[in-house]
Amino acid sequence: MANERRNPPARNDVLVVDDEEDIRELVELSLLRMGLGCDTAGSLGEARARLAECSYRLCLTDMRLPDGDGLELVEFIQAHRPGLPVAVITAFGSIETAIRALKLGAFDFVTKPVELKALRGLVGNALRLEPRVAVRSSGRGLIGRSDALQRLRAQIEKLARNQAPVFIHGESGTGKEVIARLIHSLGARASGPFVPVNCGAISPELMESEFFGHLKGSFTGAGTDKEGLFQAANGGTLLLDEVGELPLAMQVKLLRAIQERAVRPVGAHAEEAVDVRILSASHRDLAQLVAEGRFRQDLFFRINVITLRVPPLRERPEDIAELAEHIFARLAEREGGAPRRLTPAALALLQEYPFPGNVRELENLLERACALSEGEELDVGDLDLGPIHALQSAARNAAPAPAAPPAGADSDPETRRRALLEALREQRLDLAAAARSLGLTPRQLRYRLQKWGLVLPGQD
User: What is the per-residue pLDDT for 412?
Assistant: 61
Q: Which of these, 388, 394, 313, lies nearest to 146 by C-alpha position?
A: 313
Strands 262-263 and 272-273 come out as antiparallel
pLDDT at 21 over 60: yes
18-41 per-residue burial string, b: 16 or more CB within 10 A, e: under 16 = bbeeebbbbbbebbeeeebbbbbb
**Model pLDDT for residues 370-424, shown as the tens digit of each residue:** 988 888 999 988 887 744 555 555 554 554 444 444 444 444 667 777 788 778 7
Q: Tell whether pTM > 0.95.
A: no
Percent of the chain with pLDDT over 90: 54
User: What is the per-residue pLDDT for 132?
Assistant: 54
User: What is the per-residue pLDDT for 127?
Assistant: 87
Q: Does residue 417 or residue 135 have the better pLDDT?
A: 417
Beta bridge partners of 110: 89
Q: Does residue 141 or residue 269 have the better pLDDT?
A: 269
- For range 217-235, the mean pLDDT: 90
Q: Which of these, 192, 195, 50, 33, lies nearest to 128 by C-alpha position?
A: 192
User: What is the per-residue pLDDT for 112?
Assistant: 82
Beta bridge partners of 374: none
- What are the residue boundaries of the structural domains of the chain, listed by start? 2-127, 148-309, 313-384, 388-451
Find the range with the poorest average confidence among 51-55, 271-275, 416-420: 416-420
Find the range with the poorest average confidence among 4-13, 226-235, 265-274: 4-13
Q: Are 225 and 216 in contact (CB under 8 A)?
A: yes
How far is the C-alpha of 207 from the C-alpha of 199, rounded, in Å?
9
The answer to whether domain 2-127 and domain 148-309 are alike in fold is yes
Q: Are 274 and 262 in contact (CB under 8 A)?
A: yes
User: What is the per-residue pLDDT for 91?
Assistant: 77
Q: Which of these, 133, 168, 185, lies nearest to 154 by C-alpha position?
A: 133
Name the H helices within 398-456: 413-426, 431-438, 442-451
List, in sequence order, every beta strand (DSSP E) within 42-178. Answer: 58-62, 64-65, 68-69, 86-91, 108-112, 166-169
Average pLDDT value over all residues in the chain: 85
Q: Is 202 helix (H, G, I), strand (E, B) or coil?
A: coil
pLDDT at 47 over 50: yes
How far is the C-alpha of 75 from the C-alpha of 105, rounded, in Å?
8
- List C-alpha distances in Å: 410 to 150, 395, 413, 416, 437: 51, 22, 9, 10, 17
pLDDT band at 2 (very low <50, low <70, confident <90, very high): very low
User: What is the per-residue pLDDT for 454?
Assistant: 66
Region of residue 93 (left: phi > 0; alpha: psi -120 to 50; beta: else): left
List, in sequence order, every beta strand (DSSP E) within 178-335. Answer: 194-198, 237-241, 262-263, 272-273, 277-282, 306-309
User: What is the per-residue pLDDT for 131?
Assistant: 60
**Model pLDDT for residues 143-177, shown as the tens digit of each residue:** 999 999 999 999 998 899 889 999 999 999 999 99
Percent of the chain with pLDDT over 70: 87
pLDDT at 128 over 90: no
Angle of helix 147-159 versus helix 176-185 axis, rounded to 10 = 40
pLDDT band at 251 (very low <50, low <70, confident <90, very high): very high
CATH number of 148-309: 3.40.50.300
Q: Are 250 and 204 in contact (CB under 8 A)?
A: yes
Find the range with the poorest average confidence among 6-10, 244-248, 299-303, 451-455: 6-10
Q: Are 238 and 276 in contact (CB under 8 A)?
A: yes
**Model pLDDT for residues 415-451, shown as the tens digit of each residue:** 777 788 778 777 767 777 787 778 777 777 777 777 7
How far is the C-alpha of 411 from the C-alpha of 297, rounded, in Å?
48
User: What is the per-residue pLDDT for 450?
Assistant: 74
pLDDT at 352 over 80: yes
User: What is the per-residue pLDDT for 459?
Assistant: 53
Q: Are 126 and 113 in contact (CB under 8 A)?
A: no
pLDDT at 134 over 60: no
pLDDT at 460 over 50: no
pLDDT at 212 over 50: yes
Angle of helix 431-438 versus helix 413-426 axis, rounded to 10 = 130
- When the candidates are 3.30.70.141, 1.20.59.20, 3.50.50.60, 1.10.8.60, the CATH number that belongs to 313-384 is 1.10.8.60
Q: Is cis: bond before 113, omega within 30 of 0?
A: yes
Q: Are 184 and 203 in contact (CB under 8 A)?
A: no
How far is the C-alpha of 174 from the C-alpha of 185, rounded, in Å?
19
Give domain 2-127's CATH architecture: 3-Layer(aba) Sandwich (3.40)
pLDDT at 56 over 90: yes
- For range 104-109, the mean pLDDT: 89
User: What is the per-residue pLDDT for 92?
Assistant: 58
User: What is the per-residue pLDDT for 138?
Assistant: 39
User: What is the per-residue pLDDT for 408?
Assistant: 40
pLDDT at 240 over 90: yes
